[in-house]
Amino acid sequence: DSGVTQTPKHLITATGQRVTLRCSPRSGDLSVYWYQQSLDQGLQFLIQYYNGEERAKGNILERFSAQQFPDLHSELNLSSLELGDSALYFCASSPRTSGRHEQFFGPGTRLTVL
Amino acid sequence: EDQVTQSPEALRLQEGESSSLNCSYTVSGLRGLFWYRQDPGKGPEFLFTLYSAGEEKEKERLKATLTKKESFLHITAPKPEDSATYLCAVQALGRDDKIIFGKGTRLHILP
């Protein structure tokens, strides 16, 4: 158990809908990262937040957005869903202190868009 | 452009048959190289961080090494429970904290 929690574990929805994925980082970690993993693409970095502020952006679509709240939990919002958005979505957290940059991953949310 | 390439894509070994997985990387300046293990449908599990050429880390049957251009994950006398996908990732120096992952090596250990 990495200490990172994600809810829900599974999500099934229809095209055009909007969903919210939730992540709680490990105790004490200020940085949260979101990744998308599909069968043919591997792990793709989406976005990073550090202590409530956006810090880095990867290949995140404009239909997707995220935020980190004062209690450090984070939410990833996916809207106008398409079939191709079906994937595993992982959240990771990191201490991001001097010498400690490894990321610890949650169990993931499996999103299925029908 | 920062890049991570892992080889082979897949590897089947007999139990006890030692081997190595390769991770080649191109990055402007390396902050860290990470190895993860991922089981099907699960989140990646952190194994090692390597920071500079010549560094080595060990954990049970796994040993990770780092040069200026590549890293190896050596697996000694593997067991069936070592079957998983092994992911390599790099983080570049700079303000940006993002990590770039390779596509992984799928390792299958036959009993």
Report chain B residues touching chain A, CB-CB < 8 A.
Answer: 31-32, 34, 36, 41-46, 49, 87, 89, 91, 96-104
Which chain B residues touch A105 with a CB distance below 8 Å? 36, 43-46
Confidence (pLDDT) at A99: 60
pLDDT at B75: 97
Which amino acid would we find at residue A11?
A: L
pLDDT tens track for A36-67: 999 777 899 999 999 999 988 988 999 999 99
Q: Tell me the C-alpha to C-alpha distance, in Å, between residue B109 and each of A61, B10, B40, B71, B73.
A: 38, 11, 15, 21, 15
Full pLDDT tens readout for chain B, 111 residues = 889 999 999 999 999 999 999 999 998 889 899 999 999 989 999 999 999 999 999 999 999 999 999 999 999 999 999 999 999 999 888 767 778 999 999 999 999
Polymer length of chain A: 114
Q: Does A110 touch chain B (CB under 8 A)?
A: yes
Question: Which of B12, B32, B27, B3 is CA-nearest to residue B103?
Answer: B3
How close does chain A come to B99, measured CA to CA in Å? 7
CA B95, B97, B102, B103 torsion-angle sign: negative
What is the SS3 assignment for A105? strand
Residue-wise pLDDT tens digits, A9-40: 999 999 999 999 999 999 989 999 999 999 77
Nearest to B34 among A58, A88, A102 (CB): A102
Of A4, A103, A106, the CB nearest to B99: A103
- Cβ count near B51 (within 10 Å): 12
| Edge-first strand listing for the sheet containing B3-7 | B3-7, B19-26, B70-75, B62-66, B56-59
Looking at residue B1, its pLDDT comes to 81
A86 close to B (CB below 8 A): no
> Is the sign of the CA dihedral A51, A57, A63, A64 positive or negative?
negative
Residue A98 in this model has a pLDDT that exceeds 60? no
The distance of B40 to chain A (nearest Cα, Å) reads 11
